Structure 1
Amino acid sequence: MKIFAVLVLSVLGLSVTGFAQQSKIDSLLKSLPAVGDPLRRIDQLNDIATYYTRTSVQEAEKTVRESILRAREAHYKKGLADALKIAGVIYYIRSEYTVAIEYYYQSLKLYEELKDFAGEAKILHNLALIFNLNKEYEQAYKFARRSIELKRKLGDSLGVANSLLSVTDYYTHTGKYSQALEAGQTALERYKGLHDEIGISHALLQIGEVYARQKDFPTATAFYKQGLQQAQRIEDYLQIAASYKKFGELFLAGEQYDSACHYLRATIAVAHRHDIRREEVEAMRFLATCFEKTGSLDSALYYTRALAAIEQEIFGRQSKEQIATIQVIYEFEKKEQELGFQKRIVRRQYIAIAGVSLILILAIMLGYKFYGLNKSNADAKETLLKLNREINQMNENLESMVHERTEEIAAKNQRLLEYAFFTAHEVRGPLARILGLVELAKIQELRHEHEEIILRLQEAANELDEVIRIINRKLESTKRI
């Protein structure tokens, strides 16, 4: 009975608060026809589509398709990037993750071209969410960290809080619960400081899941209740469905099957009404398990078949959307290629004209050069002949000079030989006699012969002096040569 009362109050809460969200959409729709600027109109369509993602996914899809078409026609990259991002959100809500990723990557490419770091950070955050759901946790963590880095550089406190929840999800699924709680609490405090009610709801549910994984069911229940109340206040149907599912999953883990079935059915009702396929599919899977546990095999089989039908429908729609997306991309790229081809043709024509002009200029310059060369050819030839004659004359003079110098060197060599012969024979004779007489003078017994020895020394000295004079004359005559 208590559970039934909670469900009734929840539905009443939705019906009351739904008007505020719808009034924002109505106001934007009413002012849309008056928007004359095509780019501003695209931006407003994107705003409308964003609000519709919380109330009616079908209307959001219609609006965003119009925005994508108009943005491509206007070559408005920023508007196209925003629209593709919203399309990714729509398919994320429908659990068509492959298509969502395709739209996200297209949007990311445009944001990178525009150097729009804020848009790039949001896409990285959204990709982290999908990879967490696909259990590719390491990849999800990388995207989340990159998103946080960009948002911190931009001073985007709200964006950092959003990405911290992706990090919380990563830590939760990898069993790092203390780190998960720290990241989740940090995100919650940021949301509260910014008075962001949507973020507060998300953070409360995320923290509740960390406690549920640790089997601390009372604490998890408290956080889930706060998250549900917050989601109802802001008409966030995605979070309302997620809250109901969390309660159903929690009661299923605690083997309180009646309560689990009630919350899971409530999840299916809200999710089906608002085309939130991800929560609907998961709720059906848990509900089939719940009935199986209680022995209601017919009900379990019913939900299993319903689940298979929805998954088949999602797969079929996803395939169609993939084909449509590929076709749109192909047409867009084809136009870009045609434009590029035309640009290349024009560029080639410019290059050809420039090439021909350059060739003509070179031909004129070469012609002028050849004319000048031809004119000076005769002068150059005469100059060369004159130089040749001068070189021949120089060669003849050089040969004569070489011959004379050779004879002079030969004469000098002959005189040097004569000088060497003369000094070797003529000088040695007198010198030897002088040396001998000196030795005789040293002998005491020959005192009576000293006068004769001195006389002979004088003769030998005179003879040596004459020889030296002859040598000097020869040297003088050699110098004159």
Structure 2
Amino acid sequence: MTLALTCFVPKLPFSKKRIFLLLFWVCTFHFGQAQKTRDSLVQAIRTLEQSTNFIEKDTTYVNLLSNLGSELRYYRTDSLFLLSEKSLRISKAIQYAKGESRALFNLGNYHSDKGNSSNAIAYLEKSLQKATEIKDSLFTVRIHNDLSGEYAYNGNYAKALSGYLLSIEQAEKLNDLKMLSIINENIANLYASQKDYKQALEFYKKVKKINAEIGNEIYSAETMSNMASVYADMNELEYAMFNVNASIAIFEKQEIIDWLAYAYEIKGKTYLKQNDHKWALYWYRQSEALHKKIQDERGRIDLYNGMAEAYFGIGKDSVSKHYALHAYDISRKLKFKEGTQKCANTLYKISKKGKDFATALTYHELYSKLSDTLSRNENKKSLTMLKTKLEYDEQKRDLILENERALAQQKKYVYAALSILSIFLIITFLVRRNENIQKKLNIELNANKEELEKSERELTEINETKDKLFSIIGHDLRGPIGAFQGLLKLYRDGEIKQKEFLEFIPKLGTDLDHISFTLNNLLSWGQTQMNGAITKPSVISLDGLVSDNIKLLSEIASSKSIKIVSRLSANTLAWSDGDQIDIVIRNLLSNALKFTPENGMITIGAAEKNNHWEIFVRDTGVGMDKETQEKIFAENSSHTTYGTNNEKGTGLGLSLCKEMVEKNDGSIWVESIPRKGSCFYFTLPKAKKEYQKTA
């Protein structure tokens, strides 16, 4: 049988706040064949050593030692270290730079797996220096990638992102699709660590396209495993289960044990998110059984903590504590803050349930301390990554400008040489050049003028947006927050008792709901005003969006005894941006609830027209006069009134609805009779049949 050698993107064994393991470009055999490969390497080394003319200082011998060390990485880490040390010693003695670079690279991997990040970086940098000296371009890209991963593990996201961007450029020049797949997945994982799942999924989609071009199902399975972990963190559990099941089928068929252990752990995490502790434990145990055959300390942290949570869920607290402590010890050993944080939280819950309040308090304080640290770090990460990307783009622009200046200088030399041929040509050249310079100056002057005028308009718009934002924050958010602070102060100072304080809870809940709704509208409106919202239409079910929002607002409706009725059929499919239309429906229903008195009724339905849907939201509320109807959709309008129970709004809702409906090629209007009620209408394009089939 021919051995199937594959190079892979290593798994990311940490969910939620994921710390990136180096995405090593190491080669591994399918597990059923891996032992044969190791045995054949051992046999080749022994045969060479026992030959009569054997000398240790041989490049073939050095390469065999490095290859065997790589194969033993996840099975006998001490052997990886000893073989790499020996390979390095011999390579130095015979001045074999390629052997030195490989040996240093393997030693960097060894120290990374042991959690010795500083040593790992030192060895990888030495390996990079050697590879650069001998101009080993392919291996240089791999080392740059691993170094970036190690910097990410240490929290130096600026250096990590710079390294990944540099690696992408080098890999593109070499047309190295495998490395492009790995590096783009690394960048996806950086965004996932900051819970920027939308951006992470964009990069994952790019990786899937590259994997499809490569045509290797194992690469695709590895990417699907990482995507499954991200979908689980997003609580998109159906997508998580689909991806992890697809990857498991491939890993089981190919018998790739380390990735299979990771995929089983992700499947256990997905069931745990569903509170199905029985099946979660089943898959965690499958992963645990495979971990006994490999040496992957980092991979065990989430596995054991997940098992602890699952056992805690079924009431086996002593077993839960055993696994949580095991995961906690590994996290502390590897100085892994996110792992320590999660384990501390699990141990806090276990200790609290067991009434060991002193221990529970210790773990809770540790969890809070790490949460504060990580929260601060997360804020810095986003800004650092953005700043690094901008700096990198600026450096690229500077290089392009330098090249253009160099080309311009070369042109001057050419013109100078030609000028020797004829005085007439010199004069003609100078005249033409002056004319061109004058034209360019005029063009640049006009361009600068237009740019300044554009900047002035943008600055004016930004100031107007800023003033409106501060107005909303000052009037609509500061009030409820200030009331909440005042109430807490009275409670802390003992001026009101606990019973009196609890009586304010319903009012505080209403205030917090108002703040949350206001912030959602504020953020959506701010995005459209400052950056411009990007509309991404797809086939959406209006019935599903309406049902979700009715559930979301059911508590408010119940508090006013208002009945909300949906008359939309299941086949009401539109071609629009689902997120934007969700905001429109939520605001219209919220407005209807706000202005409908108790025991009222709200009806939402849709009428099918030639090529669009006409959706309506009708209420039995207070209605409005003609003057008010003309104001509510006016540009830059902030018209707002109090609801029937003195509910307060920002005045952004209907303005936001108008913008988002129009971005989806629709229109919005209102019909209203004072003291009878209002009916808001808006239109959306119907989904075409070919899109419906695809959906």
Q: TM-score range by the shorter chain?
A: 0.5 to 0.7
The code of the aligned residue for 1:46 comes to F
Deviates most, 136-145 or 106-115: 106-115
Given the superposition, is the C-alpha separation of residues 357 and 109 from structure 1 closer, same or farther in structure 2, using an over 3 Å criterion?
closer
> Which position in structure 1 is the counterpart of 2:109?
50
1:200 aligns with 2:260: yes
Percent identity over the alignment is 15
Superposed, 1:155-194 pairs within 5 Å as 155-194=215-254
Name structure 2 gaps, 5 residues minimum.
Answer: 1-72, 428-695
Q: How far apart are 1:83 and its partner, in Å?
A: 2.3
Distance in structure 1 (CA, Å) of the matches to 2:274 and 2:404 = 63
Superposed, 1:155-304 pairs within 5 Å as 155-304=215-364
Q: Report if aligned partners of 1:54, 1:235 keep a CA contact under 8 Å in 2.
A: no
Count of paired positions: 351
Which of 1 and 2 has greater Rg?
1
Q: How far apart are 1:243 and its partner, in Å?
A: 1.2
Given the superposition, is the C-alpha separation of residues 285 and 95 from structure 1 closer, same or farther in structure 2, using an over 3 Å criterion?
farther
Distance in structure 2 (CA, Å) of the matches to 1:180 and 1:252 = 23
Deviates most, 235-244 or 285-294: 285-294
Kindly provide the CA deviation profile for residues 152-181 of structure 1, in whole angstroms up to 9, marking residues without a partner as x.
211232211111112222433444434422
Distance in structure 2 (CA, Å) of the matches to 1:69 and 1:209 = 41
Distance in structure 2 (CA, Å) of the matches to 1:216 and 1:325 = 37
Given the superposition, is the C-alpha separation of residues 159 and 365 from structure 1 closer, same or farther in structure 2, using an over 3 Å criterion?
closer
Name structure 1 gaps, 5 residues minimum.
Answer: 1-16, 368-481
Q: Report if aligned partners of 2:192, 2:200 keep a CA contact under 8 Å in 1.
A: yes
Q: Report if aligned partners of 2:104, 2:123 keep a CA contact under 8 Å in 1.
A: yes
Q: How far apart are 1:220 and its partner, in Å?
A: 1.2
Distance in structure 1 (CA, Å) of the matches to 2:373 and 2:130 = 29
1:28 aligns with 2:49: no
Q: Determine which of 172, 178, 183 is the counterpart of 1:118.
A: 178
Q: How far apart are 1:200 and its partner, in Å?
A: 0.6
TM-score norm. by structure 1 comes to 0.60
Given the superposition, is the C-alpha separation of residues 298 and 155 from structure 1 closer, same or farther in structure 2, using an over 3 Å criterion?
same
> Which structure carries more relative contact order (alpha carbon 8 Å, separation 6+)?
1
Distance in structure 1 (CA, Å) of the matches to 2:345 and 2:296 = 23
Q: Report if aligned partners of 2:191, 2:197 keep a CA contact under 8 Å in 1.
A: yes
> Which position in structure 1 is the counterpart of 2:413?
353
Deviates most, 64-73 or 244-253: 64-73
Q: Secondary structure at the residue paired with 1:135?
A: coil
> Which position in structure 2 is the counterpart of 1:62?
122
RMSD: 4.4
Q: Report if aligned partners of 1:91, 1:99 keep a CA contact under 8 Å in 2.
A: yes
Q: Report if aligned partners of 1:96, 1:318 keep a CA contact under 8 Å in 2.
A: no
Compare the two structures and name the one with the higher helix fraction: 1
Given the superposition, is the C-alpha separation of residues 82 and 192 from structure 1 closer, same or farther in structure 2, using an over 3 Å criterion?
same
Compare the two structures and name the one with the higher strand fraction: 2
Q: Report if aligned partners of 2:341, 2:370 keep a CA contact under 8 Å in 1.
A: yes
Given the superposition, is the C-alpha separation of residues 297 and 309 from structure 1 closer, same or farther in structure 2, using an over 3 Å criterion?
same
Distance in structure 1 (CA, Å) of the matches to 2:273 and 2:256 = 26
The code of the aligned residue for 2:273 comes to R
The code of the aligned residue for 1:245 comes to N
Q: Secondary structure at the residue paired with 2:249?
A: helix
The code of the aligned residue for 2:86 comes to K
Distance in structure 1 (CA, Å) of the matches to 2:313 and 2:158 = 30
Superposed, 1:329-368 pairs within 5 Å as 350-363=410-423
The code of the aligned residue for 1:57 comes to N
Given the superposition, is the C-alpha separation of residues 302 and 101 from structure 1 closer, same or farther in structure 2, using an over 3 Å criterion?
farther
> Which position in structure 2 is the counterpart of 1:87?
147
Distance in structure 2 (CA, Å) of the matches to 1:170 and 1:333 = 28
Q: Report if aligned partners of 1:164, 1:183 keep a CA contact under 8 Å in 2.
A: yes
The code of the aligned residue for 2:361 comes to L
Q: Report if aligned partners of 2:277, 2:313 keep a CA contact under 8 Å in 1.
A: no
Q: How far apart are 1:262 and its partner, in Å?
A: 2.0
Given the superposition, is the C-alpha separation of residues 202 and 119 from structure 1 closer, same or farther in structure 2, using an over 3 Å criterion?
same
The code of the aligned residue for 1:29 comes to E
TM-score norm. by structure 2 comes to 0.43
Q: Report if aligned partners of 1:39, 1:79 keep a CA contact under 8 Å in 2.
A: no
